[in-house]
Each structure stands twice: as C-alpha cells, then as structure tokens.
Amino acid sequence: MSKPPLAAYPHLRPRRLRQAEWVRRMVRETQPTPADLIWSMVVHDGKEAEIPVASMLGAPRFSVARAAEAAKEARALGIPAIAVFPFIDGEKKDSRGTAGTDPDGLVCRAVKAMKDAAPEVGIMCDVALDPFTDHGHDGLLEHGRILNDPTIERLVEQSIIQAKAGADILAPSDMMDGRVGAMRKALEAEGLQDTMIMAYAAKYASAFYGPYRDAIGSAKALSGDKKTYQMDPGNSEEALREVAMDIAEGADMVMVKPGMPYLDILRRVVDAFALPTFAFQVSGEYAMLMAAARNGWLEEERAILESLSAFKRAGAAGVITYFAPRAAKIWGA
Ligand code: PBG
C-alpha cells in the first residue's frame, strides 16, 4: 500500500508536477525502453524477403535471409531478443506435426541464420505443434481430444532440436500440463542446462490470436477451438496456479498472454512471484491498433507507445510485440 497524501488541496496540487515536459520526465514512474522489447516475427521458407499479411499491416512474414538482417537491425536498435514463429506450407503439415521436430526445418534454419548474423541477440522459439499440424492444434489430436502426455513427448523433441540449433530461450505456448518439467529434465540430460525457459504460463483461449493464425497459416487448418487446454478468460485465481506450477517445474521466466486485456493478471502475477514476468501483446491487439490508426481514428505512434507504457506500469519485465522495431525507432528518433 502506498502512503496517503500528506496534504490536501490547495497545498497539494498534483498539476504542479505536470506543468512542463522536463518535470513530467523527472517524476515519471515507469518508461519502456528498447531493452524491454522482444520482437515477435513470423518467418517463411520462400525466397521473397517479405510477404505481407493482410490482417497484420506492417508486420510481414520474413524469409530466413531477411530474418537474419532483422537480427542485425535488432542489435542496432538495442532490442535484446527476437521471438520466431514459422509459416509452414500446407503440404508439410500432418497430424503429428512432424515438421516441428525436423532439425533441418524452417525454425532451426532461421535460428542458425539469425545467431550467425547477430550472436548478441537472444533468440526465442515457440514450443508447440500448431504451425505444423494439419488440424491446427498445439498438441496431438485423437477422437476430438488433445492428448496431454503424448504431446509432451513431441514438445520435448522439439525443444531439444531448437536448443541445439542455438535457441537461447524456449517458450512453450501449448498449455499442456507438465511440459515445463519434462523440457527442463530433458535439457539437463542433454547438457543444455543454460537454455532458458519462458513459460506461457497464463495463456488464455482468446479471440485476439486471429491475425496470428492467418500469419502462420493455421487459421484455415484449425478444427474447433483451444478451450480444453488454454485458459478460460473469466479466470484469475487459476492463472496463479498455472504460474506456480511452471515455476516449480523449472521456468526461468513466465508470460501472460494476451497482453492489454489481461493487465490485471499480469499485475497479480508480478505481485505474487519474484520472477521476470512478460506480457505478449498479441496479433489481435496489434491489428486493432493498426486498423484504427490507418483509418485515422487513433494517433498511431502515440497509441503504440502508450500501449507499451501500460505493460511496464503493470509491472512487466518486458513485452513480446510486433511493434518492437517501430517503437525502438520512434524512441531513437
Ligand atoms: C500457438 C501460439 C499462438 C500464438 C503464439 N503461439 C496462437 C494460438 O494459441 O492459437 C499467438 C500469437 C499472437 O496472436 O500474436 N502455440
């Protein structure tokens, strides 16, 4: 609890501290910087440097070569890390998500290219099967059910090939129970004890992932919804249980997802656990801001920066966002 004010009006006039930019800057409580940003990026396997995604204005799919350039850009802009997500061609998808455990697959090649181009930039990989499955689910599907423990075996395989390709952070986004513990055990056994895990600990079954599923090409594939594994948007106590489990299983960092609609969850997690907690400003949040701005209904740059401030104010260690390079450029200008 903060202390109550010592004085009342007119002795206390809060507007005094707002009268000029220098004093507003001087008393500002939180301020996002490029160091708070993880650049969310979709990669594809073709030659074209950038392929636009209709619902993600200004956040196209990158080729592997373009992604390597982007890693250098991140370094120059002071962005510490990039989170990479793959667009997989339809014919490479199957029910088990086989392409997701191919050590020569798109993700591993992208990781290697980015680490070669800019080794100082951290690379984070998504651990989940949905970009690779023909049904679009994050796990193995049998008779309409997502199997928990058999999925974990696949996720462990995926984790190991990603870590061996050079991924610094593994970020399981699948929401299977017990996967963080299994990943941590396997990493230890493989001598990969320095690989970090950022758990998508409190991840909700959200409508705000829509544009992402377009971007990675899983929107058409998805049969049904993800409500049997992702969290119910009405729940808050459950988020604390999920986070506690992932920390106990060996997560180094945790994440709340989506971002802005779940700032209350973020604040609760930050207050409850002494661990870096990140927010994912997801594709739908990005698309909403961009669509409104491009219609002239919002001031684009101000809205972007204000959204990033909100995460810091709510206590986030950082934000995974498609706005990362844009925001860093605005601050640097
Ligand atoms: C799936 C995954 C999703 C996102 C990241 N990993 C979508 C989903 O759960 O369907 C969403 C990212 C975004 O919307 O920007 N493993």
| Ligand 1 atom nearest 218 alpha carbon | 10
Tokens of 55: 């619902």
CA of 282 to the centre of ligand 1 (A): 8
Question: Each residue's pLDDT tens digit in the chain (333 positions)?
Answer: 677 767 889 989 999 999 999 999 999 999 999 999 999 999 999 999 999 999 999 999 999 999 999 999 999 999 999 999 999 999 999 999 999 999 999 999 999 999 999 999 999 999 999 999 999 999 999 999 999 999 999 999 999 999 999 999 999 999 999 999 999 999 999 999 999 999 999 999 999 999 999 899 887 778 889 999 999 999 999 999 999 999 999 999 999 999 999 999 999 999 999 999 999 999 999 999 999 999 999 999 999 999 999 999 999 999 999 999 999 999 998
Substitution site in 124, 173, 220 for ligand 1 pocket (most atoms within 8 Å of beta carbon): 173
Write the DSSP symbol of residue 4: P
Q: Which residue has the tokens 């191919």?
A: 102
CA–centroid distance, 280 to ligand 1, in Å, is 10
pLDDT value at position 1? Answer: 62
Nearest CA to ligand 1 atom 2: 173
Q: Ligand 1 pocket check: which of 41, 53, 125, 212 to mutate, most ligand atoms within 8 Å of Cβ?
A: 212
Query: In this structure, which residue's CA is closest to atom 8 in ligand 1?
Result: 209
Q: Which range marks the domain in which residue 195 is found?
A: 32-332
Residue 2 lies in a domain: no
Task: Judge whether 132 lies within some domain.
Answer: yes
Buried residues in 79-110 as b, exposed as e (16+ CB within 10 A):
bbbbbbbbbbeeebbeebbebbbeeebbbbbb
Q: Where are the alpha helices (DSSP H) in 166-282?
A: 179-189, 210-215, 237-249, 263-272
Closest CA to 300 of 280, 267, 330: 330
Question: Counting atoms of ligand 1 from 1, which one is nearest the CA of 128?
Answer: 16
Q: For residue 283, give the ligand 1 atom closest to its CA.
A: 15
Residue 17 within any structural domain of the chain: no
Number of Cα atoms under 13 Å in the Cβ half of residue 106: 26
3-state secondary structure (DSSP) of residue 198: strand
Q: Whose CA is nearest to atom 5 of ligand 1?
A: 173
Show the tokens assigned to 22: 């220098």
Query: CB under 6 Å to ligand 1: residues?
Result: 126, 128, 130, 138, 173-174, 209, 212-213, 226, 282-283
pLDDT of residue 5: 64
Is 3 inside a domain boundary?
A: no
pLDDT at residue number 220: 76
Specify the CATH number for the domain of residue 328. 3.20.20.70
Give the residue whose CA is nearest to atom 11 of ligand 1. 209
Query: Which residues participate in catalysis according to the annotation?
Result: 203, 257
Report the number of distinct structural domains present in the chain.
1
User: Residues 135, 138, 142, 143: is their CA dihedral positive or negative?
Assistant: negative
> How many Å lie between the centroid of ligand 1 and the Cα of residue 61?
15
Atom of ligand 1 nearest to the CA of 222: 10
CA–centroid distance, 307 to ligand 1, in Å, is 19
Give the separation between CA 287 and CA 303, rounded to whole angstroms.
12
Cα(192) to ligand 1 centroid in Å equals 26
Does 96 map to a domain? Answer: yes
State which of 132, 137, 175, 209 you would mutate to test the pocket of ligand 1, scoring each by most atoms of that ligand within 8 A of its C-beta.
Answer: 209
> pTM here?
0.97
Q: Which pair of tokens denotes residue 317? A: 């260690």
Domain assignment present for residue 22? The answer is no
Which of 38, 138, 290 should be mutated for ligand 1, with most atoms under 8 A from CB?
A: 138
Whether 26 is covered by a domain: the verdict is no
The whole-angstrom separation of Cα 157 and Cα 132 is 14
Ligand 1 atom nearest 129 alpha carbon: 16
| Distance between Cα 6 and ligand 1 center (Å) | 47
On whether residue 92 sits in a domain, the answer given is: yes
